[in-house]
Structure 1
Amino acid sequence: MSTQRFVMKCGGSTLAALPDAFFEDLRSLQERGVQPVIVHGGGPAINETLGKLGIESRFVNGLRVTDEATLDVVEMVLAGRINKEIVRKLGKNGAKAIGLSGTDGNLIEAKPVANSDEVGLVGDVTSVNAAIIEGIIAMGYLPVIAPIGIDGASQRYNINADTAAGAVASHLGVDTMIVVTDVPGIMRTVNGEKVVLPSVTFADIQEMIASGEIYGGMIPKVRAAMSCLHGNVKEVLIVDGAAERVLSRAVTEGQIGTRITRG
């Protein structure tokens, strides 16, 4: 099998709920010469920790309003707790992983988002130091990246995990990004039965949101997947992490979940 590489984005709570078989599948891919890179989020865990500390969680258009106190918690939860939980779980299942934050070695360089006056210290990715990721892969390890960014003045930024994952994939020259969720893909009702759509475009998604076919909690999942289509990434594959050998099937067969393209 030729060396293949993929970037996988997963929410922290989704990853925590995944069975050991998922991590074993990652290990078997690594052993077969496939090079996975994980970028993770952790919204629910951040909300929970902020709540315990009496700090209110506020969002503007899906972005967390982030001051320095909130950013301390975001970094602690993402780079401290969740990142290391994922690394440990991979290690437990025989995979070799190294956890990183986007601030390590200026891995993810960022600048304030356009509406920073509303959301505070939220960043857009300006560049990714792909050489760090390449170095870790060359040593035979799987990079696990927490989406915190940094600028030239060492100011940290909270980066949306989907944006960060898309930027990492683009800078690594990866065509396809895999978004691991708790749903089998984008569903449509056909003859009274729910079926997974094998592929959709941005226009299809907008139509399905407008018609109410995509609704509720699925809307942010689909929008998140769309925001991973960043730079040179050509398609995003939404898959259910609990499905059997989901990553092996996504990488080698491609016939699982829903493929999203710009159209």
Structure 2
Amino acid sequence: MEQRFVMKCGGSTLAALPDDFFGELRELQQSGVKPVIVHGGGPAISETLTKLGIETEFVNGLRKTNDDVLDVVEMVLAGRINKEIVRKIGTNGAQALGLSGVDGGLIQARPVANASEIGFVGDVTDVESGIIEGIMGMGYIPVIAPIGIDASGQRYNINADTAAGAVASHLGVERMIVVTDVPGILKTVNGEKQVLPSVTVEEIEEMIASGEIYGGMIPKVRAAIQCIQGRVREVVIVSGQEAGVLTRAVREGGVGTRIVQSKQRQV
């Protein structure tokens, strides 16, 4: 059976990844595994906005997005970061094709519930998975920038974790891998932070409520929950700096934090 997975990675995280990581990606592709990459680029967007003198702020971890900010978001994500990733993959021997959610109406979106407060930030309503299937069928790794579009042509800034979860759900892949700069979901045990090898959706909700999961990790686990509610079997949060992490996450396990569907607690 064909093996596929969706990988989400921040733009700054990808830029810092060693060539060995991309070598793993090449080997996986050559062995018949079909990866799909959805990327972010928050720090690069903030840096560019600062250079242009455009103010930026966040509401509950999501960037407040007006027309000026949206232009920069699209320029940085679809123009700069997307092509940097495609080049990096290509120079390490794999084949990639970059696009944004606007291309072919790939990622269809609508305004988030608090749009009046946060601007042109979107929730995903549909993914044209046939476009992704076609790119994979030609032997390329799809590299997707998370910009959404609606029927009127309005663009939306989509949180990359949310976009990756939606792509994974619509593709029906077995596994989504979130590559970050942390080794997984951390829990304080006896005064020390330890990586949780496995966690259920119920436990995630409890950790968010208690404040153990906070900040930028919340959208990651929220996207994982949305994804698991579809046809995805598990989501793995890993550090891209660990040797062999991609191959281990795809084939062997035992790395990072596996997020799995809730199971009924035993009394």
Report the alpha carbon displacement of residue 194 of structure 1 after superposing the two structures with TM.
4.6
Identical pairs, percent: 69
The count of residues paired between Structure 1 and Structure 2 equals 259
Q: Counterparts of 1:137 and 1:223 in 2: how far apart (Å)? A: 27
Does the Cα contact within 8 Å between 2:61 and 2:215 map onto a contact in 1? no
- Which sits farther off after the overlay, 220-229 or 189-198? 189-198
Does 2:192 correspond to 1:196?
Answer: no
Report the alpha carbon displacement of residue 262 of structure 1 after superposing the two structures with TM.
4.2
Q: Counterparts of 2:135 and 2:175 in 1: how far apart (Å)? A: 20
1:88-134 deviation line (CA, Å, top 9, x unaligned): 00001001000000000111011111111111111111110101100
Report the alpha carbon displacement of residue 49 of structure 1 after superposing the two structures with TM.
0.5
**2:265: which partner in 1?**
none
**2:86: which partner in 1?**
87
- Which sits farther off after the overlay, 54-63 or 68-77? 54-63
1:65-103 deviation line (CA, Å, top 9, x unaligned): 111111100000000000000000000100100000000
Does 2:106 correspond to 1:110?
Answer: no
Report the alpha carbon displacement of residue 207 of structure 1 after superposing the two structures with TM.
3.8
**1:166: which partner in 2?**
165
Given residue 58 of structure 1, which amino acid in structure 2 is its aligned partner?
A: E
Given residue 49 of structure 1, which amino acid in structure 2 is its aligned partner?
A: T
**1:18: which partner in 2?**
17
**1:221: which partner in 2?**
217
Report the alpha carbon displacement of residue 59 of structure 1 after superposing the two structures with TM.
1.4
**1:129: which partner in 2?**
128
Does the Cα contact within 8 Å between 1:179 and 1:238 map onto a contact in 2? yes
Does the Cα contact within 8 Å between 1:202 and 1:226 map onto a contact in 2? no
Distance 1:208-1:156 versus aligned 2 partners, 3 A rule: closer
TM-score by length of 2: 0.91
Q: Counterparts of 1:208 and 1:155 in 2: how far apart (Å)? A: 36
Structure 2 residue matching 1:256: 3-state secondary structure: coil
Report the alpha carbon displacement of residue 203 of structure 1 after superposing the two structures with TM.
3.1
Does the Cα contact within 8 Å between 1:7 and 1:39 map onto a contact in 2? yes
Q: Counterparts of 1:71 and 1:191 in 2: how far apart (Å)? A: 45
Report the alpha carbon displacement of residue 228 of structure 1 after superposing the two structures with TM.
3.0
Does the Cα contact within 8 Å between 2:201 and 2:225 map onto a contact in 1? no
**2:42: which partner in 1?**
43
Structure 1 residue matching 2:69: 3-state secondary structure: helix
- Which sits farther off after the overlay, 169-178 or 7-16? 169-178
- Which sits farther off after the overlay, 191-200 or 8-17? 191-200
Q: Counterparts of 2:191 and 2:119 in 1: how far apart (Å)? A: 46
Given residue 224 of structure 1, which amino acid in structure 2 is its aligned partner?
A: K
TM-score by length of 1: 0.92
Does the Cα contact within 8 Å between 1:229 and 1:235 map onto a contact in 2? no
Q: Counterparts of 1:208 and 1:229 in 2: how far apart (Å)? A: 14
Does the Cα contact within 8 Å between 1:201 and 1:262 map onto a contact in 2? yes
1:176-198 deviation line (CA, Å, top 9, x unaligned): 21100112112345566654221
